[in-house]
Amino acid sequence: MPDNSADYEDADELQPTFDEDDHPARVWNLLWLINPGDEDAALQQFDAWREARAGAEDDPSDESWLWDLKDAIDWRAGFYVDWKDTDSFVAALQELAARWNLGIDWGGDLDDEDFAEDLDVPALMSIAYDRLREHGYSVWNWNTGGDAYAGWIALSRDDEAMMALCSLLGVEVRPGSDPF
């Protein structure tokens, strides 16, 4: 057999090269992870984030970029709710899951006071995490440092990538089964 190995490109040459400190590229990768299969939505959110960041110092250690990202993705690819606002949390997660034609079985009727009286946002987040894992998705939450819960949903197969990327971004995240 002839040696035609010169006809193939080296796999290392095909890898994209990013500056190690390219913060916007990392934010783009995060948006890509939380908008699986929807590059248009990721691009719209990235543009909204960049517009919010216009004129701001691009200092990744300053967490204002994360709050701008929260605003860019809220109810489209992420959630942010008050610690006691179970109704908004349920509505946000239902909205996010609907992007993939999924509904969340909360384990009972949330309109039933007897069922819902003992539920709080962390319990609901854990339920959503379990139900969405059954379909290949993971609920993530990040440390807001306050009395609120925030996060997003990504494909479960990307769990390790999510942890690695958030570590590079300096964002403390946990799976929805372990809310802050």
pTM of the model: 0.84
Q: How distant is the alpha carbon of residue 41 from its chain centre?
A: 13
**Residue among 21, 42, 20, 44 at smallest CA distance from 33:** 42
- Which pLDDT does position 63 carry in this prediction? 87
What are the per-10-residue average pLDDT scores of the chain (180 residues)? 49 47 93 96 97 80 91 97 95 97 93 85 97 98 96 98 96 96
- Which pLDDT does position 1 carry in this prediction? 47
- Which pLDDT does position 110 carry in this prediction? 87
- Which pLDDT does position 55 carry in this prediction? 80
- Which pLDDT does position 5 carry in this prediction? 47
Burial class (CB in 10 A: 0-12, 13-18, 19+), 7: exposed
- Reduced DSSP (H G I as helix, E B as strand, rest coil) percent helix, strand, coil of the chain, to 5: 50, 15, 40
Q: Centre a 10 Å sphere on the Cβ of residue 168 and count the other Cβ atoms it contains.
A: 15
**Residue among 47, 120, 32 at smallest CA distance from 77:** 32
CA geometry: angle 66, 70, 71, nearest 5 deg: 120
What are the φ/ψ torsions at residue 175 (nearest 5 degrees)? -65, 155
